[in-house]
Structure 1
Amino acid sequence: MKRMLLGVLMVIVVLSSVGCGEGLGIGIARSEKPRETSPDVAASDLKDLVDGNSAFAFDLYQSLSDRDGNLFYSPYSISLALAMTYAGARGETERQMADTLRFLLPQDRLHPAFNALDLELASRGEGAEGKDEEGFRLNIVNAIWGQEDYEFLAEFLDVLAQNYGAGLRLLDFINAAEESRITINDWVSDQTEGRIEDLIPQGVIDALTRLV
């Protein structure tokens, strides 16, 4: 299980964040459909989603817990980011992702459930105060980068727009792999106020990359 979990994550996830940088043109591929801000999701679907996400979080912890030092990670961010790529998965890839990520719902119910959960979590930080009477911020940023001349299906873009309020940022991995990596890393650093730097190490993005 540990080998499969880490293998799937290594293959699919370089995708927690988006980027923009100087000297590198960035295009956008996005559906014109607006995000559904009041998704009609059954309580049982939301429960199945949360239960599955929790199970994946513990699976991931078991895979990472044998490392030295403190461990800090955000399983929800990983699940949310991978759900966006899962929208474009079919066949054996779809099955393996669902098994590893503990997705219990079919695609047509999974993504609206993620939308409802994301909107609920985002609303909790609006004007809320902790025990110290100080406000808090919950910032979750996930998006997908694609190869600029690759043809992405309209159905896939519709799911991203309606359920995640997202589209595809386009870069030229084929001819500018290292520049693309730096672009993404710079944006991540900016969005996390310098807390995450060099998210993607050298060599991870190359001319064969099509989706990050």
Structure 2
Amino acid sequence: MKKKILFLVIAMLLFCVMVPDLQAQKTNTTQSVSGIVTDQEGNPLDGTSIVIKGKNTGVVSDIDGKYLIHVPQDAILQFLFIGMESQEIPVSNQQVINVTMEDLFSKGLQPAKPITLTTKQKAKTEGENSFAFKMFKEVSKQKGENTFFSPLSLSMALGMLYNGASGETRHEICNSLGIADFSETEVNEYFQKISQYLLEVDPTTDISIANSIWYRNHFTVKNHFIEICKEYFDAEVQSLNFNSPKAPYTINNWCAEKTNNKIQHIIGNEISPGAMMCLVNALYFKSQWRTDLKFDKKKTKLANFTLNDKQKKKVNMMEQTSFMSYYADEHLQCVEMDYGNSAFSMVAVLPSKDKNINQLIEYLNNDILRNVMKNMRWGKVWLKLPRFKTESSFSLAQPVKDLGMRHLFQEGFTNISDDDMWVSDILQKTFVEVNEEGTEASAATTVVMIGAGRPIKTKPIRFFADRPFLYLIREKSTGIILFIGRMDEPI
């Protein structure tokens, strides 16, 4: 045994002594490589990153697509450009390397279809996102760690409810959702447009938005309310015997079907005797990371994640070094990772080292997010992100009240029925899973009613999500937030 150990040690020493001279000889033999980077139509690609594989150095092509780089003769050059398939080319003593980049769309990936909004609709979206952050702060205080919330799902449910509301109740909904200066038709056309176009922007993303209204049989509902919800929200409307033990199963089965079985129980085993109507919105999202942003499963390793109490927990930590959008200031650090054809993205946000996740949530709002997204830069990022899966279930009644919608729970729905009725509770269940391939997320909200040659950075930006962080999933052309969550303890 001793002989084997001695031989191993000697072999290692010999290797250490001999190899540096060989390496020195190789690295000393450098050369210049120049060329032009173009797209498939021959147009120069300004801003293409040309990087020496295995190194953190490189250059960026200029406005004419030209570049000049000094490299070892045995180097491999990587050519990277957003939306294009990356290429690796060995130098092999070549002095000129011209490259034609092939866009991913030519390989069957359809380009993102931006959602065009009117000025008024854009303002409505900003109002939606402001409401999203306010709601998330309240829900986070109530639910705490690993909260995952869908503001879009709640807004859809409230949008249907708006059509049945009257008087002060409608006024409160309008103020909270930022639609005070909208006509009823404008409100409904906005929700209809968002629902339809979100399904079309990325064919590679599996997204479903479904609405339904369930009301107690023998309860009279005004036809105008039903027709509006069918026309603009594509809602399924059904009379149901709420006294039957099959009633909860029927509603839950509908929800499970619309969320790919991720949310199977939105309501309990029985419906309250006083309940007259249930409005349900189900939102499902599943997408893979953009081709160049997928994680290599072989690089996922157990690593420490620092919890809020400073204890360490071993989690499955994914890792990659890729080009993506990033931002950092004295308050936060964030990266944006695109899905599919880049119509949707996940934005991960870390608080600064001297702040915690609760302070970040208190600080962040839609104005700050908009400024962050506006000032993001594209660069090489060394990313570590935990693999995680979480489910949340909570009542939104108190947060909704705290944000000014109190009459919902008292009266004011004469546009639904001539009978007295009010909201008893607003429930939401959510699910999210983030892994090497991409993200799967779902939510269901129920309203229960009663009554060039330019140098690039030599080192990649570090974004290590090894402590509690915030994340959100958004549609990029409008900025609409589908989901927002906090990850305190990856599971």
Which TM-score applies when normalising by structure 1? Answer: 0.68
Aligned-partner SS, 1:124: coil
Shift of residue 115, structure 1, vs aligned partner: 0.8
Asked if structure 2 preserves the Cα contact closer than 8 Å seen for 1:148 and 1:170, the reply is yes
Q: Distance in 2 between matches of 1:158 and 1:144?
A: 12
Task: Find the residue that maps to 1:156 and give its secondary structure.
Answer: helix
Q: Does 1:62 align with 2:128?
A: no
The correspondence for 1:147, drawn from 205, 212, 216, is 216
Matched residue, 1:79: 155
The answer to whether residue 270 in structure 2 is matched with residue 209 in structure 1 is: no
Contact 1:57 1:75 in 2 (8 A): yes
TM-aligned CA distance change 1:191 to 1:119, over 3 Å: closer
Change in Cα spacing, 1:191 to 1:60, as seen in structure 2 (3 Å) is: same
Give the letter for the 1:158 counterpart. Answer: E
Name the SS for the 1:58 alignment partner. helix
Separation in 1 of the partners of 2:133 and 2:251? 28
The DSSP-based 3-state class of the residue aligned with 1:193 is coil
The alpha carbon displacement at 1:53 in A equals 1.2
Give matches, 1:39-188, under 5 Å.
43-66=118-141, 67-104=143-180, 105-126=182-203, 135-173=204-242, 175-176=243-244, 178-188=245-255
User: What is the distance in 2 between the residues matched to 1:42 and 1:68?
Assistant: 35
Residues 208 and 258, structure 2, Cα contact 8 Å, conserved in 1: no
8 Å contact kept, 2:159–2:188: yes
Which one-letter code corresponds to 2:126 in the other structure? D
Check whether the contact 1:77–1:142 (CA below 8 A) recurs between aligned residues.
no
RMSD: 2.1
State the AA in 1 paired with 2:191: F
1:195 aligned to 2:262?
yes
State whether residues 210 and 235 of structure 2, in contact with CA within 8 Å, keep that contact through their aligned partners in structure 1. no
By percentage of residues, which structure has more helix? Answer: 1
Aligned to 1:197, the other structure's residue is in SS state coil
Partner Cα separation in structure 2 for residue 202 and residue 149 of structure 1 = 22
Q: How many Å apart are 1:90 and its aligned residue?
A: 0.8
Equivalent residues of 2:211, 2:234 under 8 A apart = no
Q: Which has the higher contact order (CA 8 A, sep 6+)?
A: 1
CA distance in 1: counterparts of 2:246 and 2:177, whole angstroms: 31
Distance (Å, rounded) in 2 between the aligned partners of 1:158 and 1:194: 29
State the percentage of identical aligned residues.
Answer: 25
Once the two structures are superposed, what CA deviation does each residue of 1:22-77 show, in whole Å capped at 9, x if it has no partner?
xxxxxxxxxxxxxxxxxxx9702311321221121111101112233212121111
Relative to structure 1, is the Cα distance of residues 155 and 181 closer, same or farther in structure 2, using a 3 angstrom cutoff?
same
Deviation at 1:144, TM superposition (A): 1.4
**TM-score, reference length from structure 2:** 0.31
In 2: Cα distance, 1:169 partner to 1:51 partner: 33
Cα separation, 2, equivalents of 1:179 and 1:109: 38
8 Å contact from structure 1 (residues 172, 180) kept in 2: yes
Cα distance, 1:148 vs structure 2: 2.2
Local SS of the residue matching 1:210: strand
Distance 1:191 1:118, change over 3 A: closer
> CA distance change for structure 1 residues 65 and 161 in 2, over 3 Å: closer, same or farther?
same
Judged with a 3 Å threshold, the aligned counterparts in structure 2 of structure 1 residues 194 and 45 are, in CA distance, closer, same or farther, namely: same
Deviation at 1:171, TM superposition (A): 0.8
Greater share of residues in strand: 2
Amino acid at match of 2:167: G
Q: Give the letter for the 1:44 counterpart.
A: T
TM-superposed CA distance for 1:198, in Å, is 1.7
- The offset of 1:79, in angstroms, is 0.4
Once residues 157 and 257 of structure 2 are traced to their aligned partners in structure 1, the CA distance between those partners, rounded to angstroms, is 19
Q: Partner of 1:144: helix, strand, or coil?
A: strand
| Shift in Å, 1:192 | 1.7
Q: 1:179 offset after TM fit, Å?
A: 2.9
Task: Tell me if the contact between 1:49 and 1:110 (Cα under 8 Å) persists in the aligned partners.
Answer: no
User: Which structure has the larger Rg?
Assistant: 2
